[in-house]
Amino acid sequence: MTRPFLFSVWNRIMCDDGSKKGIFEAKVNSNRCIGEGFYRVNLGFCGDGARLFAGFIPGQFVEIDLSGAPLPAMDKIPEKLRDASGRSIILRRPFSLADVEVCGDVVNIEILYCCVGPASLRMMELKEGNVVSVIGPLGNGFDIDKNKKVALLAVGGMGAGPLQHLARELAKIPGMEVVAFAGAQSVDRLPFEKPFGDFSARPTLCLNEFSKSATKSIVATDDGSAGFKGFVTGAMESWLDSCKAEMKDIIIYCCGPEMMLATMAEIAEKRGIDCQVSMERRMACGIGLCQSCAVECRKKGTDETFYKMCCKDGPVFDSREVVYTL
Amino acid sequence: MTRPFLFSVWNRIMCDDGSKKGIFEAKVNSNRCIGEGFYRVNLGFCGDGARLFAGFIPGQFVEIDLSGAPLPAMDKIPEKLRDASGRSIILRRPFSLADVEVCGDVVNIEILYCCVGPASLRMMELKEGNVVSVIGPLGNGFDIDKNKKVALLAVGGMGAGPLQHLARELAKIPGMEVVAFAGAQSVDRLPFEKPFGDFSARPTLCLNEFSKSATKSIVATDDGSAGFKGFVTGAMESWLDSCKAEMKDIIIYCCGPEMMLATMAEIAEKRGIDCQVSMERRMACGIGLCQSCAVECRKKGTDETFYKMCCKDGPVFDSREVVYTL
Amino acid sequence: MKNIVDLSIDFAGIRLSNPVFTASGTCGYADELGEFMDIDKLGGFITKSISVKPRKGNATPRMVETDSGMLNAIGLANIGLDRFIEEKIPVLAKMKAAVFVNVAGTTIDDYIEVTEKLAGENAIAGFELNISCPNVKEGGISFGTDPVQVADITAKVKKAAGDKKLIVKLTPTVTNISETALAAVENGADALSLVNTFTAMVIDIETRKPVLANRTGGLSGPAIKPMAVYLVNKVYNEVTKNTDVPILGLGGIRNAGDAIEFMIAGATAVSVGTASFFEPRSCERIVKGIEKFCQAKNISAVRELTGSIE
Amino acid sequence: MKNIVDLSIDFAGIRLSNPVFTASGTCGYADELGEFMDIDKLGGFITKSISVKPRKGNATPRMVETDSGMLNAIGLANIGLDRFIEEKIPVLAKMKAAVFVNVAGTTIDDYIEVTEKLAGENAIAGFELNISCPNVKEGGISFGTDPVQVADITAKVKKAAGDKKLIVKLTPTVTNISETALAAVENGADALSLVNTFTAMVIDIETRKPVLANRTGGLSGPAIKPMAVYLVNKVYNEVTKNTDVPILGLGGIRNAGDAIEFMIAGATAVSVGTASFFEPRSCERIVKGIEKFCQAKNISAVRELTGSIE
Ligand SMILES: Cc1cc2nc3c(=O)[nH]c(=O)nc-3n(C[C@H](O)[C@H](O)[C@H](O)COP(=O)(O)OP(=O)(O)OC[C@H]3O[C@@H](n4cnc5c(N)ncnc54)[C@H](O)[C@@H]3O)c2cc1C
Ligand SMILES: Cc1cc2nc3c(=O)[nH]c(=O)nc-3n(C[C@H](O)[C@H](O)[C@H](O)COP(=O)(O)OP(=O)(O)OC[C@H]3O[C@@H](n4cnc5c(N)ncnc54)[C@H](O)[C@@H]3O)c2cc1C
Ligand SMILES: Cc1cc2nc3c(=O)[nH]c(=O)nc-3n(C[C@H](O)[C@H](O)[C@H](O)COP(=O)(O)O)c2cc1C
Ligand SMILES: Cc1cc2nc3c(=O)[nH]c(=O)nc-3n(C[C@H](O)[C@H](O)[C@H](O)COP(=O)(O)O)c2cc1C
Ligand code: FES
Ligand code: FES
């Protein structure tokens, strides 16, 4: 993959000391609940942090220290997370960005997150004015190929964040058709702000977050409570079946559960479509020190495999190189 | 020591299930800084908690769970506490009460505290409306002897809290003269609200917290920056030298560093004055389970010693029975 | 409608209403804990260590907190055998939970004496042999690290215990815990209790002195849990799996999830120590939490969890 | 005016600018860490374990967080000796810190081969012998628990190391660490590094499977600090005190206070592992913090701290 250095907004601006990432203090601008268990937090950077984050590429991520944040009161913690919530955390946590906004000297980033354990529960309690330590920008991010004509986004779970960010950047490319496929078990598990657009028409331009960047979005729910009944992968296949573009002009970007990525990779392979997947791994450091975040990859043209590091070599990989862990 | 059950305000009111202590959720009413590193937090109880805390005896204490509270931002933490502040805490912390106020169905308690480590630093960040888990009332508390005519309070450091509480109760006894001796290294280390009263006159009724309950207070500072130059023990000795009351009519109540308690115990012994000391120990539980909080005591009339538990048998002891650890 | 879960277990031939025990030395003789929870909700109760003569315990400070844990060096402070029989046995007799007396000593004869004197008490179901206390100069852990000594003391105390059950409590600070576990099992242990605390030290950098008067102490609490789970699983796989000797798992348990983790690793029952200090209702809550978990997962009997690791 | 503190130490005959090392396997080969701090501020640098052949390491997940700690089962993933010499030695040669190559293998010959091949490199000051990794099936910890094997491997690798220094890294999971420490010292170890991680396990109660693909992993981080301090102090008192063999203390160090605690316990220098993951500037900050502490306490040379426990 080649890095699209031509895109001015993505140009990596360096710190005074020349480094491309750093540890910064960010101020919490807002933190709000957008649905049961889903939140969006907005963090502001100034100085070197602002300069580096202005060049943030969709798909890159940050590592946030939440060890000093308060635990929510027990009655705010979902019962099944209560036991785990008491664990004392020391490690930072990786989060992708859903948005980056440059406002003069200040750069604000937005994270879409879901409460699943001790760190993300603590994140819920961040209040306007709190300060958190953030390491970033980290990882490679999605590789945008301007020569493609159609970009399909396969969104599962918290993949909604980075793919919203990506959609906005793709929309800037003249002539690029962008369609987002967002899946969840049921309509109330969709990590988007309510009210949604009109679900009844399908396919329909219905998720506000995507329609803002003029991106069509198609919803798939396992139970059929909204949009296409079935998986996101099914929704995309049926879209592809009736699509007129040549396969070589299409690119698929995926972010979601590994199972979805694996299926998406198969579909892409079968149809000869380029596909990039954003992988998740448990990360102790996020910066290449610990080798925790191994992603098994194929050595081209052989059966041999080796490990790449999700935090440094990823989190975005060519869908063909990954050996998925299911 | 006999428990002054006659005093109606101290009557232990029992929980519905008959127990005399319990675990309660308390709401933070306020939490404010009263001097560098000194704070007063006010907590409100209702229901069973209110009923039990209404009967709180001066010198008793509570165990507060601060493990879920946030760590202050690094720049708010004094440099020499920064390393220790990162420690993940699991145990509750013991705190005495500086005040108990019954307001209808609600009982508010006030704690005077000082930031010395990870738990007390977290306490600093409690905000109005936060909820904390509190176990109490714990320990025996001071034993008030109505037959005495003069009560002298020797206040060192955070001993200011419980002795303020005690002073208010003593002031209710007709004919009881109460004098508080408060010591610190220098005037800015006195854990009282500024502005103080008039320091120039000595001895003088100068600390607002004590004057509220019509208690004379005498300040001693090691460096002479206010009041008597020297230790609290010296201030009290010179007061005793010019005092006209009979020694058997005097009682001394002490709360402060163990060194001060030991000197006070000697003074009391020498002059034949009754003296009660409130001891501090590292406590893992505060409720008699762990045996962490051993206080070495003399077996009456022998050289033998044994351990009493500070949390259950104390924290208030007869000054003669304790073998001080210096 | 919620399905009914059978929480009872068979523990070395004794039927317990549920698999949750208090850990020795962390719940006194039950009176204090009783102020906070219904102690009849316990499956088992293990007393503070009892020795022949009363022990004052170590000098103060005896405790210091560490990251997600604590060190203690109580030093087996206890009221001694005679007062125990006189004052505590009558109280323990009223408990519904199976009561095990934790026995400590400095010589094998000490252990035998305590065990023999108590073997006839109806109030107790059995003994827990403490050969793993790191906080006393003689006895304690020194018996527990050498398989030959473990074998010897287990056999002798088992004889003294008559028809009462004998749990042997092992120390984790050995090269291969399966060797000491096997020595105990082959010499009559009816159950194994693992683990006791890990030897550790905290130094005050201002005074350059160890914080504990005893210099070293035993580390307990959530910090040690992953090591304890590993050791339980190791002993289960290598020693007890094909026997009827149950493991009482402990070390850092503070909620139902932790307890279930120990059971999946191979424990038949679990003990709660340090967690009772900061949440005196822990044991009761853990029993409830285990029940809820089993309901949610359609597990009809809690004993199915034991050793169910994949 | 602040007094000047001599932060330099003599470490097995090598003069280091300060007593702070990175811990093996937690700072790669220095390039990544260099993005966050000035690596020339380090006293010593220890590489990830190097084996003769490249190693892929274990399957994923390789890491799981625990209370105040983490388990890893990386499995000595490394680029192998040849690529190390070709790609990394030139980079390491530019470092001001003394560089030690951590050596791992499955047979004694493996260890010897790596050591011999690197013994002539000017870029390196010496070796750290990893006979304490709990995350590989063969080799690793199996060499480190038996004093006889420790003696044998130490003597042989020492010979292979020529005039380079040899640090032997010990495992904490033994009954008596002084025995393995003594075996190393008597057979030519120039320094001891303690401790490596503690074997541990986390089970996912939903799937009933161990979280780590390798099933078990090594526990590191603040949770283990009090145990590591104890072991350093024990080996210092029982083995190294009256020798000129320094101890490199590690296990849960995350700030200057922790580092000083290890030095007071008996360490001449300290290593920082897990802390660099959540605060990549830890090493640099610790060096500064130690200096400030010495200034405040009027300690003119940091080496005075070593073994100053009362
Ligand atoms: C590159 C990257 C980008 C991410 N971006 C986002 C984002 O934008 N929004 C968001 O909500 N989350 C994101 N995540 C996931 C997020 O990091 C985890 O939800 C978070 O670490 C959970 O921490 P916790 O303490 O709350 O829960 P934990 O107790 O750490 O974990 C809760 C559950 O999630 C699982 N889990 C945790 N971390 C991972 C992981 N990395 N991979 C697979 N399973 C895991 C655990 O097995 C456990 O069952 C991202 C992860 C990565 C690696
Ligand atoms: C019965 C009782 C009543 C108390 N009342 C008050 C009060 O009203 N206001 C108040 O500010 N503090 C009070 N304390 C002290 C308070 O409990 C400690 O300051 C608190 O536990 C410190 O916790 P930390 O995590 O902030 O610091 P830690 O890191 O736990 O301790 C910081 C320093 O204080 C020392 N220390 C901590 N606890 C104790 C102890 N119990 N005895 C002796 N030294 C100790 C430690 O050695 C360490 O050097 C009381 C203690 C007891 C036992
Ligand atoms: C304060 C304290 C006192 C203890 N006393 C004893 C004891 O008397 N006998 C014994 O066998 N174990 C004793 N232990 C060890 C515990 O029973 C238990 O094995 C250990 O604490 C690990 O469990 P935990 O992490 O749940 O506390 C004690 C532990 C603590 C913390
Ligand atoms: C992710 C990770 C990888 C490690 N890899 C190695 C290694 O390759 N060789 C080795 O000797 N020790 C290795 N260790 C052990 C550390 O060097 C150190 O001994 C241990 O983590 C304790 O220190 P800490 O608590 O500061 O991390 C590793 C530790 C971690 C956490
Ligand atoms: S998370 Fe540490 S190397 Fe990727
Ligand atoms: S603090 Fe536990 S017995 Fe007193």
Express each pLDDT in D127-153 by its tens digit: 999 987 666 666 566 788 999 999 999
| Coil, helix or strand at residue A256 | coil
For ligand 6, is residue B288 a contact (CB within 6 Å)?
yes
Nearest to D68 among B83, B84, B88 (CB): B88
Ligand 3 atom nearest C275 alpha carbon: 26
Q: For residues B93 and B110, what is the distance between their CA atoms, to the nearest angstrom?
A: 15
CB of A68 within 8 Å of a chain B CB? The answer is: yes
Structural domain that includes position C167 = 9-58+75-199+222-305
CB B307 within 8 A of CB B296: yes
- Cα-to-centroid distance, A78 and ligand 5 (Å): 30
- pLDDT band for position A194 (cuts 50, 70, 90): low
The closest ligand to the CA of C72 turns out to be: 3
CB of C98 within 8 Å of a chain A CB? The answer is: no
pLDDT surpasses 80 at D10: yes
Residues of C annotated as part of the active site: 133
Q: For residues D303 and D246, what is the distance between their CA atoms, to the nearest angstrom?
A: 11
Find the range with the poorest average confidence among A224-233, B97-106, D150-159.
Answer: A224-233
CB C277 within 8 A of CB B290: yes
Question: Residue C15 domain-assigned?
Answer: yes
Which chains reach chain A with 3 or more Cβ–Cβ distances below 8 angstroms? B, C, D
Q: Looking at beta carbons, which residues of chain B come within 8 Å of C221? A: 90
Q: Residue D164 — φ and ψ, nearest 5°?
A: -80, 155
| Structure confidence at residue B201 (pLDDT) | 45
Q: For residues C9 and C20, what is the distance between their CA atoms, to the nearest angstrom?
A: 10
Chain segment D207-252, per-residue pLDDT in tens: 999 999 999 999 999 999 999 999 999 999 999 999 999 999 999 9
CB of A82 within 8 Å of a chain B CB? The answer is: no
Chain segment C98-143, per-residue pLDDT in tens: 999 999 988 899 999 999 999 999 999 999 999 876 666 666 667 8
Ligand 1 atom nearest A121 alpha carbon: 26
Q: Looking at beta carbons, which residues of chain B come within 8 Å of A71? A: 67-68
pLDDT surpasses 50 at B4: no
CB of C139 within 8 Å of a chain A CB? The answer is: no
The mean pLDDT of D151-166, rounded to a whole number, is 95
| Structure confidence at residue D142 (pLDDT) | 75
Closest CA to B131 of C151, D146, A125, D187: A125
**CB distance C226–D202 less than 8 Å?**
yes
Domains in chain A (CATH in brackets) are 3-138 (2.40.30.10), 150-278 (3.40.50.80)
| Coil, helix or strand at residue A57 | coil
Q: Looking at beta carbons, which residues of chain C come within 8 Å of B289? A: 26-28, 32-33, 276-277, 280
CB D130 within 8 A of CB D167: no
User: How far apart are the CA of C17 and the nearest CA of chain D, in angstroms?
Assistant: 22
The mean pLDDT of B239-253, rounded to a whole number, is 90
User: How far apart are the CA of B68 and the nearest CA of chain A, in angstroms?
Assistant: 5
Find the range with the poorest average confidence among B67-76, B221-230, D272-281.
Answer: B221-230
pLDDT surpasses 70 at A12: no
Q: Looking at beta carbons, which residues of chain B come within 8 Å of D257? A: 83-84
Residue count of chain D: 310
- Cα-to-centroid distance, D80 and ligand 2 (Å): 52
Closest CA to D60 of C95, A325, A3, C157: A325
| Structure confidence at residue A6 (pLDDT) | 31
- pLDDT band for position C29 (cuts 50, 70, 90): confident
| ipTM, 2 dp | 0.94
pLDDT surpasses 60 at A18: no
Find the range with the poorest average confidence among A58-62, A156-160, B55-59.
Answer: A156-160
For ligand 6, is residue B138 a contact (CB within 6 Å)?
no
Question: Residue C64 domain-assigned?
Answer: no
Nearest to D277 among A21, A281, A289 (CB): A289
| Structure confidence at residue B230 (pLDDT) | 85
Find the range with the poorest average confidence among B72-86, B206-220, D157-171.
Answer: B206-220
pLDDT surpasses 80 at B239: yes
pTM metric for this prediction: 0.94
Residues 6+ apart with CB under 8 A from A195: none
- pLDDT band for position B193 (cuts 50, 70, 90): confident
pLDDT surpasses 90 at A30: yes
Residue D233's CATH number: 3.20.20.70
CB D266 within 8 A of CB D306: yes
Ligand 6 atom nearest B286 alpha carbon: 1
The closest ligand to the CA of C62 turns out to be: 3
- pLDDT band for position B8 (cuts 50, 70, 90): very low
- pLDDT band for position B5 (cuts 50, 70, 90): very low
Chain segment B43-54, per-residue pLDDT in tens: 999 999 999 999
Domain count, chain C: 1
Sign, CA torsion A202/A207/A208/A210: negative
Chain segment A119-172, per-residue pLDDT in tens: 999 999 999 999 999 999 999 999 998 889 999 999 998 888 899 999 999 988
Question: Residue C247 domain-assigned?
Answer: yes
The beta strands (E) that lie in A146-302 are given as: 150-156, 177-184, 216-221, 228-229, 250-255, 274-278, 294-298
Ligand 6 atom nearest B310 alpha carbon: 4
Nearest to D205 among C201, C205, C257 (CB): C257
The number of C-beta contacts closer than 8 angstroms across B and D is 13
Report the 10 Å Cβ neighbour count for B101: 13
- pLDDT band for position A303 (cuts 50, 70, 90): confident
| Structure confidence at residue D139 (pLDDT) | 59
Closest CA to D281 of A285, A67, C46: A285
CB D188 within 8 A of CB D36: no
**CB distance C74–B292 less than 8 Å?**
yes
Ligand 1 atom nearest A115 alpha carbon: 26
Q: Looking at beta carbons, which residues of chain C come within 8 Å of A83? A: 255-258, 289
Question: Residue D65 domain-assigned?
Answer: no
Question: Residue D22 domain-assigned?
Answer: yes
User: How far apart are the CA of C39 and the nearest CA of chain A, in angstroms?
Assistant: 22
Question: Residue C2 domain-assigned?
Answer: no
- pLDDT band for position C169 (cuts 50, 70, 90): very high
How do beta strands C20-22 and C69-72 pair? unpaired
CB of D258 within 8 Å of a chain B CB? The answer is: yes
Residues 6+ apart with CB under 8 A from B92: B63, B64, B65, B66, B133, B135, B285, B286, C277, C278
* Residue of D63, D65, D70 to mutate, ligand 1, most atoms within 8 A of C-beta: D65
By C-alpha distance, the chain A residue nearest C69 is A88
DSSP one-letter code for C55: B
CB within 8 Å of chain D, chain A residues 22-41: 22-23
| Structure confidence at residue A219 (pLDDT) | 84
- pLDDT band for position A203 (cuts 50, 70, 90): very low
Chain segment B90-101, per-residue pLDDT in tens: 999 999 999 999
Ligand 4: residue whose CA is nearest its atom 22: D251
CB of B84 within 8 Å of a chain D CB? The answer is: yes
pLDDT surpasses 70 at D253: yes
Question: Residue C185 domain-assigned?
Answer: yes
How do beta strands C98-103 and C44-46 pair? parallel
| Structure confidence at residue A3 (pLDDT) | 38
Question: Residue D143 domain-assigned?
Answer: yes
pLDDT surpasses 70 at B197: no
**CB distance C68–D69 less than 8 Å?**
yes
CA angle C97, C102, C108 (to 5 degrees): 150
Chain segment C55-71, per-residue pLDDT in tens: 999 999 999 999 999 99
| Structure confidence at residue C237 (pLDDT) | 97
**CB distance C62–B291 less than 8 Å?**
yes
What 3 state SS string does chain D have? CCCCCECCEEECCEEECCCEEECCCCCCCCCCHHHCCCHHHCCEEECCCECCCCECCCCCCCEEEECCEEEECCCCCECHHHHHHHHHHHHHHCCCCEEEEEECCCCHHHHHHHHHHHCCCCCCCEEEEECCCCCCCCCCHHHHCCHHHHHHHHHHHHHHCCCCEEEEECCCCCCCHHHHHHHHHHCCCCEEEECCCEEECCEECCCCEECCCCCCEEEECHHHHHHHHHHHHHHHHHHHCCCCCCEEECCCCCCHHHHHHHHHHCCCEEEECCHHHHCCCHHHHHHHHHHHHHHHCCCCEHHHHCCCCC
Q: For residues D292 and D299, what is the distance between their CA atoms, to the nearest angstrom?
A: 10
CB of B71 within 8 Å of a chain A CB? The answer is: yes
CB of B83 within 8 Å of a chain D CB? The answer is: yes
- pLDDT band for position A7 (cuts 50, 70, 90): very low
Residues 6+ apart with CB under 8 A from C295: C2, C3, C5
* Chain-centre distance for alpha carbon A55: 16
What is chain C's mean pLDDT, rounded?
A: 94
Assigned token pair, A320: 């063909």
The mean pLDDT of D285-296, rounded to a whole number, is 96
Better-scored residue on pLDDT, D62 or B216: D62
